[in-house]
Copies of this chain bind each other. A is one copy, B any other.
Amino acid sequence: MLRPTVKDIAKNAGVSLATVDRVLNGRPGVRKSTIDAVFKTIDEIGYVRDVGAANLARRREYKLVFVLADGDSQSSAAVENKINEIISGPSTERTVLEVIKAPEGDLHKVANILNSLRKKNYDGVAIMAPETPLVRDAILHLKEAGVSVVTLVSDIPDSGRDHYVGIDNVAAGRIAGFLMSRFLGQQGGKVLVTSGSMRLRDSVERRLGFDSYILDKNQPVNALATVEGHDSIEILTNAVSNALLLHPDIRGFYSVGAGIPALLALLRGTERMESAIVIAHDLTPQTREGLENETIDAVIAQNVGHMVRSAIRVLKAVSDGSQIDPAQELIRIDIVLKENLFNWS
């Protein structure tokens, strides 16, 4: 038979349309027993709400905002581009998207922005920001105000966020460990791990995963202490230079976060570049170029388009309390090599 409608519920349950409507939309004035009866019929006849018609009727518009505030301008730029692509693209189904960028490194500003959002009755907020107590509190407040919240790329646990949209960074680090081991071969060697800043949770988790793989598998890889840039290219460059002098026998480089251009600049031209294995995270113009000219051997990435679309879907679903498809929302860890680079846009 045709797809059942509210009328079918009313008929089968022996109640009026108005009562069905009250039950479906959680309005008061219905006896418990009647509510149960209605739900029972819904189950029996297999009614599913026509979301299109419902949205039409309630003139629903989802107001969503992306707050981008991580230190690494490259990866948040990729996210921003994707959002703008979606905004300007066709078929923005009852969704109004907005992007707010926080000045790099200013974490008080981030919290202020989040707090200011409470008053503007947004339906959902997607946050890409370092994990700090201020930010965590701001998220808690947003949740109290009834706003849906997801964290993007880097999770902020215990903040009450509804969902984390991004890859499992520990697992990503393990994959880096696997690739590094394989690419270095049986002889293994020293590996330098670099990071733009270890303040972002994802960097820390990736390093953790990398080490745990090396340890678990008992690989002949000697991973040196993380060289950190503290959000400054200069500091990173100096630190890497020192490490290179100190360890002339480094055979591999693993960049867990930003700072790949600085690293490549130091390596370029040296005879080390030829033989060294370089593994990085996130597809940016720089890492893309690195893959193309074979200065980078592998990039561990996440599909930014999928992430942004997933964030939107999840925020909408949380907003109207409907289910999400976990399989569809799982962000996969992608391994990008020169050979499948064309696959990513």
Contacts and interface: CB of A to CB of B under 8 A. Distances in A.
Interface in A304-338: 305, 309, 322-323, 325, 327-328, 330, 332-335, 337-338
Contacts of A90: 48, 322-323, 325
Nearest to A52: B52
B330 A332 contact: no
B309 A178 contact: no
Interface string A192-213: 0000000000000000000001
A1 to B, nearest CB: 12
A322 B171 CA distance: 39
This chain's copy number in the assembly: 2
A175 interface: yes
Given A89-B325, A171-B343, A305-B328, A337 B51 contact: no
Interface in A43-86: 48, 50-53, 55-56, 85
A340 B175 contact: yes
A271 interface: no
A337 B178 contact: yes
A115 interface: no
Given A52-B55, A56-B52, A185-B185, A340 B333 contact: yes
A174 interface: yes
A303 interface: yes
A268 interface: no
A244 to B, nearest CB: 24
Given A48-B90, A56-B52, A332-B344, A171 B327 contact: no
Nearest to A92: B48
Interface in A201-243: 213
Contact of A171 (B325, B328, B340): B340
A256 B182 CA distance: 22
B330 A345 contact: yes
Closest 9 CB pairs of A and B: A52-B52, A335-B335, A178-B339, A175-B339, A332-B343, A333-B340, A174-B339, A327-B345, A53-B56
Interface of A: 48, 50-53, 55-56, 85, 89-94, 168, 171, 174-175, 177-178, 182-183, 185-186, 213, 303, 305, 309, 322-323, 325, 327-328, 330, 332-335, 337-340, 342-345
Given A52-B56, A171-B343, A178-B338, 20 more contacts: A48-B90, A50-B56, A51-B52, A51-B91, A52-B93, A56-B56, A91-B323, A168-B342, A175-B339, A175-B340, A177-B339, A178-B339, A182-B182, A185-B185, A185-B186, A305-B327, A305-B328, A327-B345, A332-B334, A332-B340
